[in-house]
Each structure stands twice: as C-alpha cells, then as structure tokens.
Amino acid sequence: MPGPLEGLKVIDLSWGLSAPYCTMMLCDLGAEIIKVERPLGGDFTRGNGPFIDGVSVYFESISRGKKSITLNLTTPKGKELLLRLVDTADVLVSNYVPGAMERLGLDYETLKARNPALIYATVSGFGQTGPYAQYPAFDVIVQAMGGIMSITGEPGGAPVRPGASIGDIQAGIFTAISILAALYERNQSGQGQAIDISMLDCQVATLENAFARYLIAGEVPTALGTRHPVSTPFQAFETKDGYVVVAIVGGVNDQWPLFCSAIGRLDLIDDPRYKTSYLRSVHYDELEPIMSAPMKQKTTREWLEDFRGLRIPCGPLNTIPQVASDPQILAREMIVEIENPKLGKIKMVGTPFHFSRTRPKVSRPAPSLGEHNQEVLGGFLGLTPEEMKSLKAEEVVA
C-alpha cells in the first residue's frame, strides 16, 4: 500500500540534516522527493563519516527513498531546468542560508509567478527575518541559544547537549507540519504560500514547560540530572545492576502510595509534604535519599517486575544496542532492512507513522549522486539524449 502522500511532488534543495529530515519524512509518507545536488560532490553529508566501503551511513539513512539529480544552479541552463521542474511540483524545500535562493534568482516571488500553487518552504538557523537572519547555524548552535543545554546535565554541573540532533530534527519536523497544513489550506484556496521556519524558534517551541515556568511563575529552570522539574518520582534510579526509570505524575490519588509500598516505606504515604507530585518536587532534596537508598537493593529486572505488577509506569534505561533488539521495537517494525546497491542488506530505523489504510513502507535506498538525472530530466522534462549529453559537456549536470 502506498503512503498517504502518494502523488505529492517535492523539489528538495537541501543539505545537512534539518530540511533533509523533513523530506525524509515526506518521502517515508509516500511523496516523491527530487533532491537537487551540486554536480561536484553533492550534499556535503555524503562526505560525513562513518563510512562503510566509502558509503556515508549518515547520508544513507537520511536519504532513503529520495531521487537525486545534479544541477549547477549558477548556470542559466541549470536554473532554467530547475524552474521547469518547479512548474510541475507541489512543494519546494530549501535550507540554503537566507539570501542564497534570492541570489540564485529562485526567490519565492519569482517561483510563485510561474506556479501560484507552489508551497515554498525554507528552513534556516534563525529564520528569514530578525537581527540574526544572516548568521550561519548548525544544530549545536541553536540547542545552545535556545536554552535546552542550560537545563540539561547534572545539577550544578557543566551544560550538556542532548544526545540527538534535536536542533535540526525538530526544525525538520515542524517544516513538515507547515507544508502539510499549507497543503490543507491550498485544497480550499487553490493558492500556495511561503513558509519560513527557524531552527531557533522550533527549539523554543519545544521547551514550553521551561518557558511557562519562567514567563508566568518567574522560576529559572536549571539542569536536574534525570529528573523532572515538577513531577516526583519521575527519574532514573540506580539499582543493584544498572538503572530503572519510574514516572508518577498527577495530583492526589496518584500512584505514590503504591510506590511507597514497593520501596517498603508505608510511613511516607500520609506525609503531607509528599502528598502530590508537585509537592514532592518542592521537597525533593529531603526525599531523594529516602527514595534512592532502597532502589539499590534490587536489580533492574526485579524492580521492573515489582512496579509492573503495581501498574506503576517504569522501564529500563537502554543503550542503543539494547533498543535495537528490543522486542517492542522489532514488533513495531522500527528497524527495517534495505537493499543497498553497494553494501547489500543494511539495517536502519523505520518510520513511526502507522496508518490503518495507507501504511508506508521504508524500502528504497539512498540515491547515488545524480542517479535519477535520466529519469527526471529525460523522463519528466523530456530532454533528448543529445540535450542530456550537451548539458553534461557544459557541466550543468554531472
């Protein structure tokens, strides 16, 4: 069954991770992604290690299923071919530095004049407007500037970067939402529009709780190890052989009495200081050793059995290899195998999008540079073999 975005055509002028993650999701959902790359080297992430037999595993995972064409957009012919492709497309995505699309003559107004239904989405470090618009940015820059690094780490310790590229990825996800919302609106108005996503904005948008506490209640959020600022217990505890994670939220009548019984501290149940998850957070310093000490007496597996018996939300703290072989992850098809022309069968992360009718399947490999020049430029645009040959000679395509 094809995915729900079957038939959607996306011109993908992107590189790195943010916008490519957006088009990866659209591709997983069934859209046709035509990745337009520089003839010399293409997307720089083709050069990002680690490599297996010269293949970047990073690029392989982000670009699965996309089509690649090469075009030198600084030549009049390359630009003209791109414009002809845009005429046939629903969406264009770019994360070039603000100003670059304009310098190439590919600004929104120009493209809108040719294709008024086009949805023109840009992703940049700071957005197309504002005092930082021209500053370059990568993931760690916006993670730092957006505040999450100041609230990640040990209490009183050095700041820590969350271990995933959420500065890029969240911007990519928000771009996908914007594009799909604009498609919904286009279905009624017939008109496209421009979308301007800033990685920094997206960072701030996902820190809602930290900002709510500061902006409304005046609290300054800080790093708290593994725990939650306003829910307790909601953290990892060290066990005899590793860690176990427990989460109890809500007001009165939550699972706190069950947790007290599990750790053999029935005396805490009626203590007014610990009546709600929020009050327990306020009194965390005195409560922490009371909770932590008994947790070290059993193994993680024993605690999981105890807590699950009581329906207390809990789980192990997994390494990446443990996740990759977890029975739930496998049952959900979150690890898939793709046939790569150079490497044979390789595994990668599947798609979290589960639909009852139009379930997408991740199955096609990432393209080699310019692999679909013939299909796209020859097939879609109808260029003759002679024209293709002369474009190559002129280094318009690779």
Identify the CA nearest to 90 among candidates 191, 196, 198, 197. Answer: 191
Minimum distance of a second copy from residue 368's CB (angstroms): 16
Residue with tokens 């930290």: 210
Residue 131 binding a second copy, by CB under 8 A: yes
Residue 6 binding a second copy, by CB under 8 A: yes
The residues in 150-179 that bind a second copy, with binding defined as CB under 8 A, are: 150-154, 157-166, 169-170, 173-174, 176-178
Other C-beta atoms closer than 10 Å to the C-beta of 165 total 19
Is-contact 221 229, C-beta < 8 A? yes
| Integer angstrom CA distances of residue 128 from 102, 196, 342 | 11, 6, 39
Residue 332 binding a second copy, by CB under 8 A: yes
Residue 33 binding a second copy, by CB under 8 A: no
Residues that contact a second copy, how many (by CB under 8 A): 165
The residues in 246-265 that bind a second copy, with binding defined as CB under 8 A, are: 247, 249-251
Identify the residue among 129, 297, 299, 368 touching a second copy (CB under 8 A). 129
Identify the CA nearest to 268 among candidates 256, 250, 286. Answer: 256
Residue 391 binding a second copy, by CB under 8 A: no
Active site residue 168: yes
The alpha carbons of the chain give a radius of gyration, in whole angstroms, of: 25
Strands ordered across the beta sheet of 243-247: 234-238, 243-247, 314-316
Identify the residue among 227, 361, 364, 392 touching a second copy (CB under 8 A). 227
Minimum distance of a second copy from residue 134's CB (angstroms): 9
What is the distance between the alpha carbons of residues 52 and 43, in angstroms, rounded to a whole number? 18
Residue 106 binding a second copy, by CB under 8 A: no
Identify the residue among 187, 267, 272, 384 touching a second copy (CB under 8 A). 187
Identify the CA nearest to 203 among candidates 162, 142, 161. Answer: 142
Minimum distance of a second copy from residue 13's CB (angstroms): 17
Query: Of the residues 139, 168, 196, 306, which is catalytic?
Result: 168
Q: Which pair of tokens denotes residue 350?
A: 């599947």
Q: Which active-site residues does the annotation give?
A: 168
